[in-house]
Amino acid sequence: MKIDHSLGLCIDAALKLSPNHDERPDPADISGIIIHNISLPPGEFGGDDIEALFLNQLDCDAHPYFDQLRDLRVSSHLLIKRDGEMIQFVPFSRRAWHAGQSNWQGREKCNDFTIGIELEGCDDMPFEDAQYHRLAEAIQCLCHHYPKLNYERITGHEHIAPGRKTDPGPFFEWDYLRQLLD
């Protein structure tokens, strides 16, 4: 994986720019990585509903679950699909809208200083090996390019918004990810 630092873009990812982002308060303070999971509809994989959500193009009448997403404006920097395909929605230099109300190590507003990485998945099913390998590759590259990032600055959405969020969930293998990073 390679990053064009001047653009904040991953050269190896498909690019689908989301309108759901804004300026970081301090663009030099990229100091954390938040891992999420998402599937739309819940528990179903494949298709382009996740991309449509991040692009504000989701047909909210296409599935009963989507009605609650009608006015939602969210994004992530990266999405890693089940087969390892990676899509970038927001340049790393910009603030993606992925964490919501959050607190990590005494700092609120985690969107301000983190990179959000979504894995296509859900809380109650294992993730694919291809996803772990692509995630490890992305983390290694990000840590190389952003000096405040390191392998200790990675956490799950569930850890920064406990009681509100549960992802990446109990099936996410933190130990396996650490092995791949070593």
Residue 118 bears catalytic tag: yes
Q: State the Cα–Cα distance between residues 37 and 122, nearest whole angstrom.
A: 6
Confidence of residue 166 (pLDDT cuts 50, 70, 90): very high
pTM of the full predicted structure?
0.97
112-134: pLDDT as tens digits: 999 999 999 999 999 999 999 99
- CATH number of domain containing 54: 3.40.80.10
Sign of CA dihedral 138, 144, 148, 151: positive
Residue from 83, 75, 165 nearest 129 by CA: 83
Residues sharing a CB contact under 8 Å with residue 87, sequence separation 6 or more, in sequence order = 13, 14, 15, 16, 51, 78, 79, 81
With b for 16 or more beta-carbon neighbours within 10 A and e for fewer, the 90-123 pattern comes to bbbbbbbbbbeebebeeeeebbbbbbbbbbbbbb
Residues 23, 85, 118, 158: which is the catalytic one? 118
H or E element that contains 115: strand 114-120
* pLDDT at 6 > cutoff 90: no
Domain total in the chain: 1
Contact 167, 100 (CB under 8 A): no
In which domain, by residue range, is 95 found? 3-181
Q: How far is CA 78 from the centre of its chain?
A: 5
Across the chain, which distance is largest between two alpha carbons, in Å?
A: 45
- Return the SS3 of 69: helix
pLDDT for residue 5 = 84
In the predicted model, is pLDDT for residue 19 greater than 90? yes
